[in-house]
C-alpha cells in the first residue's frame, strides 16, 4: 500500500510533505545522544558504566532513526517490515 497523496521520500525519510517539527525533534536528539555516549567512553573506557551508557545511547539513536522513518515514509513495506 502506497499513499499517493504525498511525495516519495528521499533516503527513507526526507520528504517535503512531512512537518519540519519531525526533523527538528529527531535529528538533534540523535546527534546529542551519540555525542554524550562518545564523550563518556572517551573519558574512561575501562568503566562498565561508561560502556553501558554508550550502548544505551547507540540503541536510543537507532530507535529514534527507525521512529523517524516510520513517521515520514509512505511505504507500508518499510513500516511493517513485511
For the full predicted model, state whether its pTM sits above 0.85: no
Q: What is the pLDDT of residues 67-80, one digit of tens each?
A: 888 887 766 666 66
d(CA 41, CA 57) in angstroms, rounded, equals: 11
| pLDDT confidence of residue 1 | 44
Q: What is the pLDDT of residues 4-61, one digit of tens each?
A: 666 666 655 666 667 778 888 889 999 999 999 999 999 988 899 999 999 999 999 9
The residue with cell 540523535 is 30
User: CA angle, corner 37, sides to 48 and 52, nearest 5?
Assistant: 25
Domain spans of the chain, in order of start:
20-72
Amino acid at each position: 500500500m502506497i499513499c499517493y497523496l504525498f511525495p516519495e521520500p528521499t533516503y527513507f525519510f526526507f520528504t517535503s510533505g512531512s512537518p519540519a517539527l519531525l526533523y527538528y525533534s529527531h535529528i538533534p536528539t540523535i546527534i546529542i545522544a551519540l555525542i554524550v555516549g562518545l564523550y563518556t567512553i572517551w573519558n574512561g573506557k575501562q568503566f562498565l558504566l561508561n560502556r553501558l551508557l554508550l550502548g544505551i545511547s547507540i540503541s536510543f539513536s537507532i530507535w529514534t532513526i527507525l521512529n523517524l522513518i516510520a513517521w515520514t515514509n509512505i511505504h507500508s513495506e518499510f513500516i511493517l517490515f513485511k
